[in-house]
Amino acid sequence: MNIDLRHLRCFLAVAAEGGFTAAGHRMHLGQPTLTRNIRALEQSLGVRLFDRTTRRTELTEKGGALRDAVAPLLNQLDAVLTDLREGEKLRVGFSWGLPEGFSRVAARFAEETGIEVEFIRCDTLLAGLDTGVVDLGLLRGEELPKGLRGVFLYEESRVAAIPAGWRLAERPRLDWTELAQWPLVINTVSGTTFPDMWRDGGQPEIGAECRNFDEWLEKVAAGLGVGTAPTSAARRYTHPGVRLVPLAGAPTVRTHLAHPSHGAHPQATRFADQVWRAADALLTGPATVRPEPEG
């Protein structure tokens, strides 16, 4: 017999609701899909499970026997599957600056699935995906590296990070091309700004290099150079020695949520899809949502 669990769950929903319309709402299925599942179950068993007219849907004698036998079995199966998920975690890596609304999406996902989402800071090129310590990674860059799949969440404009003691920090606004005149502080691991991004008018010299966002802020504060960061950084990070100045004409910063193309956590795609659907609420500042999967 070619019987799937979805056939039995649909059958129990119709039996409990006493009709296809109410059962469809309960199962979040259209009535044609629900009808096909019931018909497939009846054909596999070779018996009629419901007496259907235009006014009523009632269990046949054999339908009632199947309901009484199957309902406790599926309840027991659901309990076993729920217990298996207890203690399971989905690990999400990030190098710096989680979006403001990320924790709310993670909490909702945990309520729906019973799987806790754990955020782990990883100062590596792929936010922990390259070392295998996380299941998904929040990555900033134009495209996803080879071997990863994921969703594009949004893109942000940039601000300039200027040492507070420099006269340049007193400007109300700066242009991208102006920054090429000053030494650049580069975060070589998780940064988003590099000299080759200035294609016209010369490239900035490298004033200092570092390996994470905190070091980057400190080196800018020490006057070793300037830098740029997404606008969300201006809301999330402050330093008395750094002034964040609006920046015009700069390339945007794209943000993805990625997981391995092969061997990913079974819930990785589901979580990524849920975050993608909430992308427009992740940031309180200006962002452009581009709802296409990538990778």
What pLDDT does residue 78 have? 84
- Interval 178-211: pLDDT, tens: 999 999 999 999 999 999 999 876 899 999 999 9
Q: Domains of the chain by range and CATH?
A: 5-85 (1.10.10.10), 89-155+253-294 (3.40.190.10), 158-248 (3.40.190.10)
In a 3-state reduction of DSSP, which class is residue 223?
coil
Distance separating alpha carbons of residues 220 and 103, to the nearest angstrom = 29
Bridge partners (DSSP) of residue 58 are 51
What pLDDT does residue 282 have? 81
What pLDDT does residue 284 have? 55
Residue whose structure tokens are 């989402």: 117
Cβ neighbours around 216 below 10 Å, total: 29
**CB contact at 8 A, 185 and 226:** yes
Phi, psi values for residue 101, rounded to 5°:
-90, 5
**Which residues in the chain show pLDDT less than 70?**
85, 87, 201, 284-295
In a 3-state reduction of DSSP, which class is residue 73?
helix
What pLDDT does residue 288 have? 46
Which residue, 123, 90, 129, 126, is CA-closest to 108?
Answer: 90
Distance separating alpha carbons of residues 51 and 31, to the nearest angstrom = 17
What pLDDT does residue 152 have? 95
What pLDDT does residue 289 have? 44
- Interval 240-275: pLDDT, tens: 999 999 999 999 999 999 999 999 999 999 999 999
Angle formed by the axes of helices 61-85 and 5-17, to 10°?
120
Residue whose structure tokens are 């590099």: 194
**CB contact at 8 A, 18 and 63:** no
Residue 117, H or E segment: strand 116-121
Question: What would the two tokens of residue 47 be?
Answer: 């018996």
What pLDDT does residue 53 have? 79
